Structure 1
Amino acid sequence: MADTTADTGLPKGFRSAEQGWPELHRIPHPPHRLPLLGDVLGANRATPLQDSLKYARMLGPIYRRKAFNREFVFVWGGELAADLADETRFAKHVGLGVANLRPVAGDGLFTAYNHEPNWQLAHDVLAPGFSREAMEGYHPMMLAVAERLTDHWDRELTAGRAVDVPGDMTKLTLETIARTGFGHDFGSFERDRPHPFITAMVGTLTYAQRLNSVPWPGLLRKAARHNEADIGYLNRTVDELIRVRRTGSGDGDLLDRMLQTSHPETGERLSAENVRRQVITFLVAGHETTSGALSFALHYLSRHPDVAARARAEVDRVWGDAAVPGYDQVAKLRYVRRVLDESLRLWPTAPAFAREAVEDTLLAGDHPMRRGAWTLVLTPMLHRDPEVWGADAERFDPDRFDPKAVRTRAPHTFKPFGTGARACIGRQFALHEATLVLGLLLRRYELRADPAYRLRVTERLTLMPEGLRLHLERRSVPAPVASAAEAEEAVVPESRCPVRGGGD
């Protein structure tokens, strides 16, 4: 892989789309392009992704946009996206908002350039932390955090208040990854306001997105100082978490693996700096996208009572009278999983991924790309391609993920976790957590939507429904809910370590 420039993250020699796309003129762009400014007329800096979806509908499966002196190529057609999934010709490109996160996440798993050795080292060291045995170990901790959520929702219900879905899902997923991965408790459900870690994280994500909308970073001087303060807080929080672990002992979780595990072949270990970057990566990426996925799923369940009733009936049938759903029982919630997948189809909370050519090639046999040229795949539009999903692609329908429907669909057309070797390492963790939580909430509550609410989507690199609140009703015959202690004792033998298997 070619070296990259420090300021743009692009391979040397490819600072603009023009240089990487020899026939750029063949790719359509929005009307009314202005000299110097490009296609910024009418653009909303708060919703760049939704602006891009608007132009995608207007211009077709591949198009380009220019902002000041930078031009970008966007792709969403199923055939084009499938070709970009070819790992022999394309690889992950770290650019735009992702590259803007490097001051905080550096060469962590999500933000590392392909040529940086720490990505492969960290991936090989941490992959066993997402094995089936590890996942079974995380399950009771997920249950324990979910109990804190239901306790909180019970109090809100008793007080006659609607629940803040995005806020509470953020608390849930932050506590889940913090406890399972790092043995840490942020105490989110005991706070009236978001934990400062959340505030700092949202600040860094928002700043990273804003950088894409200005011609020169110097225009954001005040925001840059605030971003530096946010990064400083994230670093101090994680450094203290690591310090505590170094002076004590863990139980074989992700942090233990980062600190103690050598690469199985080279014997190399992660550096102290890289451990910090990986912890920040997991704390941010490990909760931000899952909280969005759960929030969108709960929105659609509240708006489609027939779907909610069908999903609830499945939970009752599969889990029965068990106070504690076992690990394997979660995987049997196949319709609940379809609800989650359909929510991720319409609003994948990581809404785009970039791919770059590793050699001179033709994209889908039609568009020449030089080595290093890159394009951004708009996942929400890929998931709405009518040639793949039908004329009703905007409609919420979990049966699109019926096994028969999945088998007949073209490959590489559902990509909520990215693609290829650099796809999300924690996707099975996220899917298990989200399916478990949806099952628990459906078993316990009826979800009542606010008739006046209209879905609005907040963008901060990730997507989240804005202002979503739901009213709850306890089910007339509520299923038993185990305590956190009962959950841990019932599901996992005391001697089992959540990560370390017999071969480690």
Structure 2
Amino acid sequence: MAETTRTGLPRGFRSAEQGWPELHRIPHPPRRVPLLGDVLGVDRRRPVQDSVRLGRELGPVFRRRAFGKEFVFVWGAPLVADLADESRFAKHVGLGVANLRPVAGDGLFTAYNDEPNWQLAHDVLAPGFSRDAMEGYHAMMLAVADRLTGHWDRQAAAGRAVDVPGDMTKLTLETIARTGFGHDFGSFERERPHPFVTAMVGTLTYAQRLNSVPGPLAPLLLRSAARRNAADMACLNHTVDDLVAARRRSGGSGGGDLLDRMLETAHPRTGERLSAENVRKQVITFLVAGHETTSGALSFALYYLARHPEIAARARAEVDRVWGTTPRPGYDQVAKLRHVRRVLDESLRLWPTAPAFAREARQDTVLAGEHPMRRGAWALVLTPMLHRDPDVWGEDAERFDPDRFDPAAIRSRPPHTFKPFGTGVRACIGRQFALHEATLVLGLLLRRYDLRPDPGYRLTVTERLTLMPDGLRLHLNPRPAHGEPTALDATRNAPGSTARCPAHPTAD
């Protein structure tokens, strides 16, 4: 039986017309088909990018109908700012997020607002993202980054391009697994992705596919996909159960990491602890969300750095100036990479790897003084379009320009116009972890390599609820200036070496 809200309606499936009294005022695509609605015009492989296209045509608030359900999309800055008002709106768990509940249950990302485990887990785990905790993770982040650069050194020495999305996925999975759960997936020692990654991609893809078929027909139309999804979920559960069991056998040897907190920490006021089932859901949530979005952010940033050598040179000069020749930058040195952080923020502006979030009305209200909404009505914020609103970002909003995040430029913009991590109390709990990790890694890679794109590559974005550049490969020219020998240096210096010189960088 479907889970229901306190209003008695199915969770995550409230159609928009039930809560939008003047829905007719919101534009929709032309040439609708009875029952199917706008489905025939949907790019089912790229629904987010398809919605971005429609947003440009239809304006800052629009709607789409699919199989009898109407969905309202919002991207105009004043509308999003109103939806960010926590006194009137809350997180809505719907669409693809609700489809992940069989995997992540009442984990932090997929919990409904009235489920008690969300607040319990948030309060227990929030100290795990304090400054002191973050400083403790820094050395492990560096250790995982060493494994990445070792792999990239070997690829460069052999004259091979690197698989950016694949390697960023390995990096971020190992980082969250080691810092949060004391686990090593051995990603860089594998020829193929770890089965956990394969299963994760499968569950995310299946969750997105569920949005493209009528609910009652899903068991028939997606029968084989559902069987694969069940196997993928079993793999995720088995992997996490083994990880938790190993920690329990060790008697808690994580030094106070996230898993120790989940297993041993009671709520500071109520004394409650997370149940075994909820621990499993939280670990899956952190392993999936804690690496999938960060790997996408790093991949897009590296794409833009390779395509804009003048911006990469400026960022590299900052790294050389701030870090000098120290081989292992300290925790506080990462925050001093202000231009590198702007590169990351600008990449997240153009391609927020979590590309949407939904908000529902806590009570009857009027959105931005124009659109009446009844309690429980919801809208989906289309973040890539919010981040391209020409009234906020200018007519050149498609241009990559990290100086948009200069402090003076930030102060000149209205609030709630940059939302790569969601909004409000349900915003991503690990955002500072992700930003520190990504800034550190970009600094290390810039210092170590010149990045060269494949001249024939054109950015293609793949969607599996999150966004990722598809097929991105980069060529590397190692830079010895950071003071550490690379694998290519060793090859060059070996007796009788015939290693060829890397090609000169090509123009963008």
What's the TM-score, normalizing by structure 2? 0.93
1:473 pairs, out of 461, 470, 477, with 477
The 5 A counterparts of 1:18-417 are 18-215=17-214, 216-218=217-219, 219-248=221-250, 249-250=252-253, 251-417=255-421
Note the C-alpha offset of 1:42. Answer: 2.8
Note the C-alpha offset of 1:19. Answer: 1.1
Q: Which moved more, 1:30-39 or 1:351-360?
A: 30-39
| Residue 9 (1) aligns with residue 12 (2) | yes
3-state DSSP of counterpart to 1:446: strand
Q: Which moved more, 1:158-167 or 1:245-254?
A: 245-254
Measure, in 2, the Cα distance between the counterparts of 1:329 and 1:398. Answer: 20
Q: Cα gap change, 1:54/1:5 in structure 2, threshold over 3 Å: closer, same or farther?
A: farther
Measure, in 2, the Cα distance between the counterparts of 1:3 and 1:184. Answer: 39
3-state DSSP of counterpart to 2:222: helix
Note the C-alpha offset of 1:69. Answer: 1.3
Q: Cα gap change, 1:70/1:399 in structure 2, threshold over 3 Å: closer, same or farther?
A: same
Note the C-alpha offset of 1:5. Answer: 6.2
Note the C-alpha offset of 1:480. Answer: 2.9
3-state DSSP of counterpart to 2:358: strand
3-state DSSP of counterpart to 1:376: strand
Measure, in 1, the Cα distance between the counterparts of 2:448 and 2:375. Answer: 54
Note the C-alpha offset of 1:205. Answer: 0.2
Note the C-alpha offset of 1:36. Answer: 1.1
Measure, in 2, the Cα distance between the counterparts of 1:450 and 1:82. Answer: 40
AA partner of residue 163 (structure 1): V
Measure, in 2, the Cα distance between the counterparts of 1:477 and 1:240. Answer: 43
3-state DSSP of counterpart to 1:464: strand
AA partner of residue 240 (structure 1): D
Note the C-alpha offset of 1:352. Answer: 0.1
Measure, in 2, the Cα distance between the counterparts of 1:89 and 1:480. Answer: 54
3-state DSSP of counterpart to 1:128: helix
Note the C-alpha offset of 1:405. Answer: 0.2
Match in the other structure for 1:496: none
Q: Which moved more, 1:320-329 or 1:420-429?
A: 320-329
Measure, in 2, the Cα distance between the counterparts of 1:202 and 1:101. Answer: 12
Measure, in 2, the Cα distance between the counterparts of 1:55 and 1:335. Answer: 33
3-state DSSP of counterpart to 1:41: helix
Note the C-alpha offset of 1:9. Answer: 2.4
AA partner of residue 409 (structure 1): R
Note the C-alpha offset of 1:478. Answer: 3.7
Deviations 1:86-121 (A, max 9, x none): 000000000000000000100000000000000000
Note the C-alpha offset of 1:481. Answer: 7.7
AA partner of residue 103 (structure 1): P
Note the C-alpha offset of 1:313. Answer: 0.1
Note the C-alpha offset of 1:282. Answer: 0.1
CA contact (8 A) 1:323 1:481 kept: no
Measure, in 2, the Cα distance between the counterparts of 1:70 and 1:161. Answer: 49
CA contact (8 A) 2:325 2:482 kept: no
CA contact (8 A) 2:108 2:121 kept: yes
Measure, in 1, the Cα distance between the counterparts of 2:158 and 2:482. Answer: 19
Structure 2 segments unaligned to the other structure (5+ residues): 487-508
AA partner of residue 3 (structure 1): R
Q: Cα gap change, 1:236/1:221 in structure 2, threshold over 3 Å: closer, same or farther?
A: same
2:457 pairs, out of 416, 441, 453, with 453
CA contact (8 A) 1:2 1:372 kept: no
AA partner of residue 405 (structure 1): A
Structure 1 segments unaligned to the other structure (5+ residues): 483-504
3-state DSSP of counterpart to 1:477: helix
Q: Which moved more, 1:469-478 or 1:265-274?
A: 469-478
Match in the other structure for 2:500: none
Identity %: 80
Note the C-alpha offset of 1:213. Answer: 0.3
Measure, in 1, the Cα distance between the counterparts of 2:7 and 2:229. Answer: 24
CA contact (8 A) 2:5 2:11 kept: no
Deviations 1:405-446 (A, max 9, x none): 000100000000000000000000000000000000000000
Equivalent pairs counted in the alignment come to 478
Note the C-alpha offset of 1:8. Answer: 4.4
Note the C-alpha offset of 1:16. Answer: 1.4
Match in the other structure for 1:491: none
Deviations 1:26-45 (A, max 9, x none): 00000111111101123211
What's the RMSD between the two structures over aligned residues?
A: 1.3
